[in-house]
Amino acid sequence: MLPTRVLLYGKDEPLPERIPLRAGPLNLIWEAGDLRSIKLGEIEIVRRIYVAVRDRDWGTAPPVMANLAMEVGADAFHIVFDVTNRGQADIDFTWRGEITGEPHGTIRFSMDGVAQNTFLRNRIGFCILHPDHIAGTRARVAHIDGSSEEGRLPTRLVHTQPVLPFAEMTGMTHEVEPGVWAELRFTGDTFEMEDQRNWTDASYKTFCTPLRLPYPMEVTAGTRIAQAVTLTLRVQRAATVKAEVATDEATFTLNRHALPMPLPQIGLGMASHGAPLSPTEIIRLRALHPAHLRVDLTLSDAGYPARFLQAAREAAALGAAVEAALFVSPEHAAAQFAALSATDAETLSHVARWLVYPERESFGGGTPLVEVLEPARHALPGYSRAPILSGTNADFIFLARSVPPLDLVDGLTFAITPQVHAFDNASIVETLGTQGQAVANAQALAGGRPVFVSPITLKMRYNAYATGPVAPTPAGQLPPQVDPRQMSLLLAGWTAASIKHIAEAGATGVTYYETTGWRGVMETASGAPLPEQFRSIPDGVFPVYHVLADVGEFSAGTIIASRSSDPLAFDGLVLCRSEEVRVILANLTAETRTVIVRGLHGVAALRVLDAGNAETAMREPEACRVAPMTHQVIPATGLPVELSPYAMLHIDAH
Q: 560-580 pLDDT, tens per residue?
A: 999 999 999 999 999 999 889
Task: Answer whether 200's CB lies under 8 Å from 179's CB.
Answer: no
Q: Which alpha helices (DSSP H) does 139-250 contain, by range?
A: none
Handedness of CA 328, 329, 330, 333 (dihedral sign): negative
Mind spelling out the 3-state secondary structure of 333-392? HHHHHHHHCCCCHHHHHCEEEEEEEECCCCCCCCCCHHHHHHHHHHHHHHCCCCCEEEEC
Fill in the amino acid letter for 415: A
Per-residue pLDDT at 365: 85
By the 10 Å C-beta count (0-12 exposed, 13-18 middle, 19+ buried), 633 is classed as: exposed
Coil, helix or strand for 311?
helix
CA pair distance 522, 284, nearest whole angstrom? 9
Q: Are strands 34-40 and 43-55 parallel, antiparallel or unpaired?
A: antiparallel
Q: Which helix (H) or strand (E) holds 593?
A: strand 593-598
Task: Answer whether 468's CB lies under 8 Å from 534's CB.
Answer: no
Whether the link from the prior residue into 209 is cis, omega within 30° of 0, is yes
Task: Answer whether 207's CB lies under 8 Å from 422's CB.
Answer: no
Per-residue pLDDT at 241: 63
Per-residue pLDDT at 243: 60
Task: Answer whether 169's CB lies under 8 Å from 139's CB.
Answer: no
Q: How far is CA 392 from the centre of its chain?
A: 17
Handedness of CA 522, 526, 529, 530 (dihedral sign): positive
CA pair distance 263, 80, nearest whole angstrom? 51
**Rounded-to-5 percentages of helix, strand, coil across the chain:** 20, 40, 40
CA pair distance 616, 610, nearest whole angstrom? 10
> Which of left, alpha, beta for 58 (phi over 0: left; psi -120 to 50: alpha)?
left
Average pLDDT per 10 consecutive residues for the chain, totaling 654 residues: 97 96 97 97 96 91 96 97 90 97 97 96 96 96 97 96 97 95 97 97 96 93 98 78 67 90 97 97 98 98 96 98 98 96 93 97 91 96 94 97 97 97 95 97 97 98 84 89 98 98 97 98 97 97 98 95 97 93 97 96 96 98 94 96 98 92
What are the backbone dihedrals phi and psi of residue 279, each rounded to the nearest 5 degrees, phi first? -55, -40
Coil, helix or strand for 498?
helix
Per-residue pLDDT at 239: 57
| Tens-place pLDDT, residues 275-300 | 999 999 999 999 999 999 999 999 99
What are the backbone dihedrals phi and psi of residue 98, each rounded to the nearest 5 degrees, phi first? -140, 130
Q: Are strands 265-269 and 292-298 parallel, antiparallel or unpaired?
A: parallel
Q: What is the rounded radius of gyration, in angstroms, for the C-alpha atoms of the chain?
A: 25
CA pair distance 424, 393, nearest whole angstrom? 24
Residue 426, number of CB atoms within 10 A of its CB: 20
Q: What percent of the chain has pLDDT over 90?
A: 91
Strand partners, 85: 63, 93
Fill in the amino acid letter for 215: Y
Residues whose CB falls within 8 Å of the CB of residue 640, separated by 6 or more in sequence, listed in order: 594, 595, 596, 597
Task: Answer whether 366's CB lies under 8 Å from 324's CB.
Answer: no
What is this structure's pTM?
0.95
Per-residue pLDDT at 247: 57
What are the backbone dihedrals phi and psi of residue 399, each rounded to the nearest 5 degrees, phi first? -65, -45
Per-residue pLDDT at 237: 58
Give 634-639 contacts, CB < 8 A, sequence gap 24+. 634/600, 634/601, 634/602, 634/603, 634/604, 637/596, 637/598, 638/251, 638/596, 638/597, 638/598, 638/599, 638/600, 639/596, 639/597, 639/598, 639/600, 639/604
Q: How far is CA 636 from the centre of its chain?
A: 36
Fill in the amino acid letter for 234: R
First to last CA, the chain: 37
Whether the link from the prior residue into 567 is cis, omega within 30° of 0, is no
Task: Answer whether 126's CB lies under 8 Å from 205's CB.
Answer: no
Handedness of CA 512, 586, 60, 5 (dihedral sign): negative
Compute the C-alpha angle 596/598/604, nearest 5°.
Answer: 85
